Structure 1
Amino acid sequence: MQRRKVTLKLYPNAAQMARLEAWTRLHCELYNAALEERIDAWRKAGKSISYYDQQNVLPQIKADRPEFVELGSHALQQTLRRLDLAFQSFFRRVKAGQTPGFPRFKSAKRFSGFTYPDPAGWKLMQHGGRGTTLRLGSGDAALSIRARGRHRFGVEAKPNDITLTRRNGQWFVSVTLRVPDAACARERTGDQRRGVDFGVTDWATFDDGRTIDNPRWLRVDLPKLAALQRQRARKKKGSLRFKRIGRRIARLHDRIANLRRDFVHKKTTCMVQSCAVLATEQLAPKNMSRSAKGTVEAPGRRVQQKAGLNREIRSAAFGMAHPMLAYKAEEAGTRLHLSHTRQLKPSQRCSACWEIVPKTLSQRMHVCPHCGHTAPRDQNSAMVVLIDAHNTQDTPGTGVAARPKPRPRQRGKSKFLTRETPTTAPSGA
């Protein structure tokens, strides 16, 4: 059995939406009260309160506050567990020497939602096609909310837990499914061996020269986004019009994110279905999109140009593409090879003679001075990672930079001329 997650959009009516909002406020109140209890216990008595200490108080809370009863015991426990996970992450960062973020109080408007951690207190009913009904609670007080969406796993998939989230005035439910291995399998239609290089100019370039255009969803809507942000800047902060334009900006960002996610899903699915071997390099989008601002003592150079490049790198969603390729390749039986970028240096290595040819980012053609091989830079990188995948096929996914030929002999450093190392051999030798 494997676990997969599917997200459905909810369509509650006005009364149901008001009830969901009220439930979210109660979960937020419980979260903030549990956080305050932990802070006060440590500040006043030096005592640490665990998740189990707070969980054991839930029956008394429901007896004093009857409105918490309809939320469900397991959902309330998950809210307390959510706070406990925040504290665990805080202490882990402290021990690792990182910059920790102490758990903060949350407002009801910014509290994302709540979770049912097991198949109790809710039921998901499919009506064929995309029609779905989510039932929360039991008895006369239960909510039956219409939902839209479907998954590809069929009737064999069993719901395990759900998370209801609120985003920009809309409600969504993320369902975790327990799926048999056979239902997860994808049908592969081809047995190609392809190397692919992800980039900004072209979203993907294959070793045979084929490319996938970068749709640049953010750049297309950037003028509209900038106009809305200028309108909001002219409004009084916190006013009705300020909030109204803020919701329009958030909806526009959601539209861009949905288009990007849909594009990446479709292209990665086509890749794994048509390839038996798919090779690419490991990417670190966080490092690639690092700011060039620098510090006061050492200010950066070409900061605005680097900021524009960072925006395009994030918009290309490389960090989203690789995880999708990983689990889809496993489902389709495709071998996914991730070459180690710093060891292999695909953009600087010649695919014909395997020599390092340094290039700047602006040089888009690979011209090897050693063997004369010429190819587009991204295509040459795709050929390099494919060769690396072929030479490391016994250890898939290790990313070790294999070389088709031995490394050239390194010229040793010249020795200093000293008394102990004379320039001429002694006579009679």
Structure 2
Amino acid sequence: MGMERRKVTFKLYPTSSQLKRLDGWVRLHAELYNAALQERIEAYRKAGISISYYDQQNTLPAIKAFRPDLVELGSHALQETLRRLDRAFQAFFRRVKAGQSPGFPRFKSSSRFSGFTYPDPAGWKLLQQGARGGTLRLGSGKGAMMIRLRGRHRFAEFTPNDLTLLRRRNPATGEDQWHASITLRVPETACARQRTSEDQVGIDFGLAHWANFDDGSQTDNPRWLREALPRLADLQRQRARKKPGSHRYRQLSQQIARLHQRIADRRRDFIHQQTSALVQRCALIATEALAPQNMSRSARGTVEAPGRRVRQKAGLNREVLSVGFGMAHQMLTYKAQEAGSVLHLAHTRQLKPSQRCSGCWAMVPKALKERWHLCPHCGCSLPRDQNSARVVLLDAWTPQDTPGTGVAARLKPLPAQAGKPRSKTRETPTTTASAV
């Protein structure tokens, strides 16, 4: 039986003494992180020596003998903090090699250290006692902490894999809150979702409507951010007139953070509901592979080549990011897998759904402002977004009507691209981007 990994998050309710102890542990982890970073910097600066993670890990027993207050944190948690620094250096060297902005690892104050991780089940245990809550045990013996938690998951069978304790600032009160993010190893049978029908649907995600389907139906875009913009702008204007660091300045900052948090929560809840409803009724879900990071790039340009219509593009970028395309794709991927459905992600640059006719498969170039598709070859006439949804659904079929392998997987060029030279830099996929 295969095992899947699922992450669940619980809210912790530590007592005042437990809260002080957790804050102390975070300070010790931050101190270890900064000391290890300083050691790497000084070793390379003075002797040209590069210190590895294993070099620093091997010194932990001697450090704990000199600093007994580190013992209760657990060896594996301390090792994970050193791995965290090592991953930061690996990312730094990767960016240097790629010619990107390097971003050298920085020292972290304890107030900006988000938390720490137990990389395996040693040193902690999840005690699920009720339907809505339970207890998290940290440590062992007389010094163990038993912290109340709230939350639940839907898995009857699971094996805890790792634990990350996160400290987050509550936007409503400005106080710190603690959360436990636990990765569970769950049998495939326990992950399964029930599917009620065998529908096959093509979806074109957009801004005017959150989703446009191949049958012409639509799901409206709630536009949580646009509704909150007047209130958000008013709060930011009020804060701009206050002295930074004053009581009123902090109060307004908390109100702004609370408003942003509410927008994010409503967006996440909406996307969860929509994606769950889709995988519950659909055996095949076809859409295009979107790249929100590329879609929301700034048009500012450079001093030598300044951009055009920068403010208009900034407004469009805000709308693109507020829709949550990336979050929807991520949720559809794992939910479709749990329901035994097929998620087909069409190769956008190769297929060009918005420029292709779903009736005759010919290319019909259109500007972004043209919202109606009218094919001069076959006379197909329908809304542009509905046509795109039909194109990605057709792309998910082969002549044998087998879901998940469409024209984007063919090695031959598409008919409308027969005379187009092949790109020297772009990779042409030989298999469809599907998550089964």
Task: Settle same-fold status: TM greater than 0.5.
Answer: yes
- Alignment partner of 1:107 is 2:115: no
Of 262, 271, 288, which aligns to 1:264? 271
Counterpart contact for 1:338–1:398, Cα < 8 Å: no
Counterpart contact for 1:166–1:172, Cα < 8 Å: yes
The aligned length equals 410
How far residue 224 of structure 1 moved from its aligned partner, in angstroms, is: 2.3
1:346 is matched with: 353
Look up the SS of the partner of 2:344 in the other structure. Answer: strand
1:146 is matched with: 148
Counterpart contact for 1:204–1:213, Cα < 8 Å: yes
2:66 is matched with: 64
1:323 is matched with: 330
- Alignment partner of 1:7 is 2:15: no
Identity %: 67
CA RMSD of aligned residues (A): 2.3
Look up the SS of the partner of 2:108 in the other structure. Answer: coil
Counterpart contact for 1:291–1:307, Cα < 8 Å: yes
CA distance in 1, matches of 2:31, 2:419: 70
Distance 1:410 1:389, change over 3 A: closer
Counterpart contact for 2:225–2:322, Cα < 8 Å: yes
Q: Which runs of 5+ in 2 are unaligned?
A: 170-175, 421-436
- Alignment partner of 1:407 is 2:415: yes
Look up the SS of the partner of 2:397 in the other structure. Answer: helix
The amino acid of 1:98's aligned partner reads Q
CA distance in 2, matches of 1:13, 1:297: 58
How far residue 29 of structure 1 moved from its aligned partner, in angstroms, is: 1.0
How far residue 340 of structure 1 moved from its aligned partner, in angstroms, is: 0.8
Distance 1:397 1:200, change over 3 A: farther
1:116 is matched with: 118
Q: Report Cα offsets for 1:22-49 as digits up to 9, x if no partner.
A: 2111111111111011001100111111
1:3-402 paired onto structure 2 within 5 Å: 3-154=5-156, 156-168=157-169, 169-391=176-398, 396=404, 400=408
Counterpart contact for 2:394–2:406, Cα < 8 Å: no
Deviates more, 1:336-345 or 1:221-230: 221-230
CA distance in 2, matches of 1:409, 1:152: 48
Distance 1:251 1:73, change over 3 A: farther
Distance 1:69 1:242, change over 3 A: farther
How far residue 407 of structure 1 moved from its aligned partner, in angstroms, is: 2.8
Look up the SS of the partner of 1:34 in the other structure. Answer: helix
CA distance in 2, matches of 1:398, 1:21: 54
Bigger Rg, which one: 1
2:429 is matched with: none
Counterpart contact for 1:338–1:399, Cα < 8 Å: no
Distance 1:6 1:353, change over 3 A: same
How far residue 292 of structure 1 moved from its aligned partner, in angstroms, is: 0.9
Counterpart contact for 1:343–1:401, Cα < 8 Å: no
Deviates more, 1:273-282 or 1:65-74: 65-74
Look up the SS of the partner of 1:153 in the other structure. Answer: coil
CA distance in 2, matches of 1:411, 1:36: 58
Distance 1:110 1:406, change over 3 A: closer
* Runs of 4+ displaced beyond 6 Å: 408-412
Deviates more, 1:115-124 or 1:257-266: 257-266
Counterpart contact for 1:338–1:397, Cα < 8 Å: no
Look up the SS of the partner of 1:2 in the other structure. Answer: strand
2:431 is matched with: none
Distance 1:191 1:234, change over 3 A: same
Look up the SS of the partner of 1:187 in the other structure. Answer: coil
The amino acid of 1:160's aligned partner reads N
How far residue 64 of structure 1 moved from its aligned partner, in angstroms, is: 2.2
Q: Which runs of 5+ in 1 are unaligned?
A: 413-429
Counterpart contact for 2:397–2:405, Cα < 8 Å: no
CA distance in 1, matches of 2:218, 2:211: 6
